[in-house]
Amino acid sequence: ATAGALSGKLGDIGIDDSFIKEVSEAVEPGESALFMLTRDAQMERIEEELSDFEYEFEIIQTNLSPEDETQLRETFAAEEVAG
C-alpha cells in the first residue's frame, strides 16, 4: 500500500510511470530503495562512492524538468513538516 501511495505521488510530480515500474520491479520484498536528488551529477563518482558499501546496488536514473524538480522538493519539504 505504501508503494502505491508513493507511486501516485511521484506520478503527480512528473516522474513517469515507466520509471516507477522499473524501480518497483527492481526492489524485491525485504530490500530497500534509496532515492537521491542530484543536479549535474557525475555518475562515475557516485558509483565509486557507493562501491565502498558491502551491499549490492543498481543505479536507475531519470531526469526531471526544472518545474518537476521544484515540485518534488516542495512535496518532500511539506511531508517533512507534516511528518
CA distances from 4 to 8, 9, 51 (A): 6, 9, 30
Cell numbers standing for residue 67 = 518545474
The DSSP secondary-structure symbol of 51 reads T
Percent of the chain with pLDDT over 70: 78
Q: What is the mean pLDDT of residues 27-54?
A: 86
- The better pLDDT of the pair 75, 47 is held by 47
Mapped onto helix, strand or coil, the DSSP state of residue 60 is coil
Cell numbers standing for residue 49 = 562512492
pLDDT band at 4 (very low <50, low <70, confident <90, very high): low
Does the structure show a pLDDT above 80 at 69? Answer: yes
